[in-house]
Amino acid sequence: MTPTRRRAAVTAAALAAACALGLVTAPPASAEVKSTCGRYICVATAYQGRDYVQDITVTTRDGLRGTLRAFVGDHRDSKAGVSRWRFVVNREIRAYPRLAVCGGLDRSGRVIENHCVMIP
């Protein structure tokens, strides 16, 4: 293989890998994001339609660490010692007429706040 052909093959492979990575990391076009803030935390969720929750992001407003929680339907998760965390849900959760996607903040073993985003 000549150096010119090798360079073209390497360039084509790198371009194909970059395009594939872009497809993997890009959110679906139909995903919507809704967020709201309480006194101590902000909760954002990416969802599709009315039933499919992709993720829940919980952030403290003051930037201080605590135990962040995310819950929707029967899905529960938590992460200690952070001020921001993205919880991956990727599942269909049925609740009518509206779905409550919630986050919470605990500090020193006490519940500081629970806050929910309502998906129509």
0.75 exceeded by the pTM? no
Which CATH architecture group holds 32-119?
Answer: Sandwich (2.60)
Domain borders along the chain are: 32-119
pLDDT of residue 24: 45
φ, ψ for residue 83, nearest 5 deg:
-110, -10
Mean predicted lDDT score pLDDT of the chain: 85
For residues 55 and 101, what is the distance between their CA atoms, to the nearest angstrom?
10
Q: Mean per-residue pLDDT for 86-105?
A: 94
For residues 95 and 100, what is the distance between their CA atoms, to the nearest angstrom?
8
Q: Which of 43, 34, 35 is nearest to 114 (CA)?
A: 43
For residues 69 and 102, what is the distance between their CA atoms, to the nearest angstrom?
8
pLDDT of residue 95: 86
pLDDT of residue 102: 97
Q: Mean per-residue pLDDT for 84-104?
A: 94
